[in-house]
Amino acid sequence: MHPPRTKLNYDLIAIDIDGTLIDRTGHVPEANIEAIARAREAGVTVLLCTGRNFAESVFAAKAVGVTDPMVTAGGSMVVDPGSGRTLHRFAMRLPVVRGVVEVLHRRGHAALVLKDRVASGFDYLVVTGEEGHRLHPVTEWWLRHMELESREVLSLDFDEHPEWTVRVGACGPSSWTLPMRDEIFELLGEQVTLHSFPAVTSREHVPGLEGEFHILEAFDSQAHKWAGISWVCAQMGIDPKRTMAIGDEVNDVTMISSAGLGVAMGNAIEPVKAKAKYTVGMNHEGGVAQAIERILGGEW
């Protein structure tokens, strides 16, 4: 049993980014920045826990000034925000990676393979297959928008470092991604962790597109946000029961259901709210700040 690190009821706060920390415009509300600063002054460890990789999420760490490890890529990586150095990685096994890529190719999609950038020198490996499958325009926009480094190959046989793969995914209308998710699960079952949820984009970025756009993500079965948080707790000597987690989407369920206190955003999906003990305001209402103030005030 680890001793308490603060006089509060919780020593660590884990915060999702999209739909939680940042508002609808993609910025961190000032109320959240101030509340996080007060929490850190009180000795609380603040973890940003996101589905994004480090390059896609470092802006949030800079905005709130956190120096504690970040849990990135859906929990598959733990990264030092100051240096970008990888502290821990839940890599995917090659047979699982191949299985996911084969399903995407059968359905006419290129596979977006996320790598450990520190080890490989780039963010994504785009696997097109012999047929030359392409990424969805939403994904191509995202890569340009975030200035991400990618390499294109015909097959996984050209992947020089398969041990650095942490996620395989695709993006497109939910009418595509949901059937692919189901087919991958039928093929791999409990060997893989799967998520499908709305993509971070808007119509003006990709003109002429209709419908709801989803991200499909496949990870190693051991990779999820709570796994990353648990690793940090073990390294820092923090009692997992003295943690609070707050989020809004399906990839937040593990941390909200496993943390000492689970909190849902007002804009959270119902499965998240069902696992949370409390629900706060929406992301454009400073819901994160509301939760932190209740912890600092001893209400929670």
Whole-angstrom distance, CA of residue 233 vs CA of residue 131:
45
Whole-angstrom distance, CA of residue 39 vs CA of residue 270:
28
**Tokens linked to 259:** 């943390």
pLDDT in tens, 140-163: 888 998 899 999 999 999 999 999
pLDDT higher than 80, residue 200? no
pLDDT higher than 70, residue 183? yes
pLDDT at 207 (0 to 100):
56
pLDDT in tens, 256-267: 999 999 999 999
Of the pLDDT bands very low, low, confident and very high (cuts 50, 70, 90), residue 210 is low
Helix crossing, 174-188 with 94-106: angle to 10°?
A: 140
- Of the given ranges (164-178, 201-215, 235-249, 251-265), which has the lowest mean pLDDT? 201-215
- Of the given ranges (136-150, 156-170, 230-244, 251-265), which has the lowest mean pLDDT? 136-150
Query: What SS3 state is found at 71?
Result: strand
pLDDT at 141 (0 to 100):
84
Cβ count near 94 (within 10 Å): 13
What CATH code would you report for 12-89+224-296? 3.40.50.1000
pLDDT in tens, 59-71: 999 999 999 999 9
pLDDT at 146 (0 to 100):
86
State the average pLDDT for the chain.
93
pLDDT in tens, 270-287: 999 999 999 999 999 999
Of the pLDDT bands very low, low, confident and very high (cuts 50, 70, 90), residue 129 is very high
DSSP 246-275: EE-SGGGHHHHHHSSEEEE-TT--HHHHHH
Of the pLDDT bands very low, low, confident and very high (cuts 50, 70, 90), residue 198 is confident
The arrangement of secondary structure in 94-220, i.e. its CATH architecture, is 2-Layer Sandwich (3.30)
Q: Where exactly are the structural domains of the chain?
A: 12-89+224-296, 94-220
pLDDT higher than 60, residue 203? no
Q: CB-based contacts of 291: which residues, under 8 Å, 6+ apart?
A: 13, 244, 246, 263, 278, 280, 300
Q: CB-based contacts of 181: which residues, under 8 Å, 6+ apart?
A: 194, 196, 216
Cβ count near 208 (within 10 Å): 6
